[in-house]
Amino acid sequence: MTKKKILIPFIIFSTVLTTSTVYVYQMLYAPNFLINQTEKFIIIKEETNFDELRNQLIEDTLLNDVISFSVLSKLMDYDTNIKIGAYKVKTNMSNYNMISMLRSGNQTPINITFSYARKIDDLAEKITEKLKISSEDLTTYLYENLDNYKGFNEIDIISIFLPDTYEVYWNISPRNLVDKMYSEYEKFWNSERLKKLEKINLNKKESIILASIVASETRMLDEADRIAGVYINRLNKNMRLQADPTLVFAANDFTIKRVLNKHKKIKSPYNTYIHKGLPPGPIRLTPKKYIDAVLNYEKHNYIFFCAKEDFSGYHSFATNLRDHNSNARKFQRALNERKIYR
């Protein structure tokens, strides 16, 4: 009888202990977020309290067991220690791992990608789309701190933004963002590229301006170096570039599909039919491969080129005006046949 009296409490204690241990283990380490779902980002903004965060996790269908998360958050003092930022929630993440990440403020970098923009305001909207800062925050910082970036001005500051994918934190400041872009710009100009730059008699900003024109002329990278060669030849001969994309930029009308004589009369420093040399700044974001096309331009005797009449995206090249005019007439007839008049 005495043994039974001792055994029963022991069994009860063991059962309670086992149950408690299992519950604690499950509360700590059992999957509780994105169970068998793909990874997601959660963004915690300023002044978010624990209840709002918990509701956000529920609404975004990230959180499975609300009670265990709430209890452990209190035990780990996270409910009063919310940190802003962007965090990647992994598949089958446990309460402990999730809370540890959030409490430490160990953010996950966000990928920002930009490939095309004509002006800095357009670019700012694309860059800040996933970030805490606004496009106005970015442009205001840029325009007020141009002196920090080695002689760039409002017209050519877009040059430091080289199209690519970059990792940044969601709450990065405007200054740190621009500093990162400028650092990447400086890295791009390695010793090999600087040597090539010296040989073509252009500086970094000039090569980017020319590359922006080449990139606007052709989407065919395999002929970009040849088009760059045409413009280098014209610069060396002190000829006007007569680049149609600069007229579109000067007109500030990017719906133009056919450049007309009236566009050649636009009063603008970007009108390369009127002004010799390069325009004062890039006419679009300049892809790295097009800068390399300028640095490695094809050496030839062409000084004219015109889009091919088959609308393949490629161009016909000429060494003299007679041949060029012949190519141009073919393309103009093709435009007329397609009823493209402006």
214 and 176 part of one domain: no
Name the domain boundary from 104, 136, 157: 104
Position 29 scores a pLDDT of: 79
Position 249 scores a pLDDT of: 95
Distance separating alpha carbons of residues 326 and 110, to the nearest angstrom: 52
Position 339 scores a pLDDT of: 84
Closest C-alpha to 231, from 256, 212, 250: 212
User: Does some domain include residue 4?
Assistant: no
Position 340 scores a pLDDT of: 85
32 and 48 part of one domain: yes
Position 21 scores a pLDDT of: 59
322 and 249 part of one domain: yes
What angle (nearest 5°) sits at the alpha carbon of residue 239, between those of residues 329 and 241?
60
| R_g over Cα of the chain | 30
Position 22 scores a pLDDT of: 52
**Using CA of residue 140, residue 143, residue 146, residue 152, what is the dihedral sign?**
positive
List the chain pLDDT tens, one digit each, 342 residues: 565 555 556 555 555 545 555 556 677 779 999 999 999 999 999 999 999 999 999 999 899 999 999 999 999 999 999 999 999 999 999 999 999 999 999 999 999 999 999 999 999 999 999 999 999 999 999 999 999 998 899 999 999 999 999 999 999 999 999 999 999 999 999 999 999 999 999 999 999 999 999 999 999 999 999 999 999 999 999 999 999 999 999 999 999 988 899 999 999 999 999 999 999 999 999 999 999 999 999 999 999 999 999 999 999 999 999 999 999 999 999 999 888 877
| Domain extent at residue 68 | 23-104
Distance separating alpha carbons of residues 248 and 239, to the nearest angstrom: 20
211 and 258 part of one domain: yes
Position 28 scores a pLDDT of: 78
Tokens of 316: 């016909």
Tokens of 85: 């930022």
Name the domain boundary from 49, 73, 104: 104
- The count of domains in the chain is 3
169 and 237 part of one domain: no
User: Are 295 and 287 spatial neighbours (Cβ–Cβ below 8 Å)?
Assistant: no
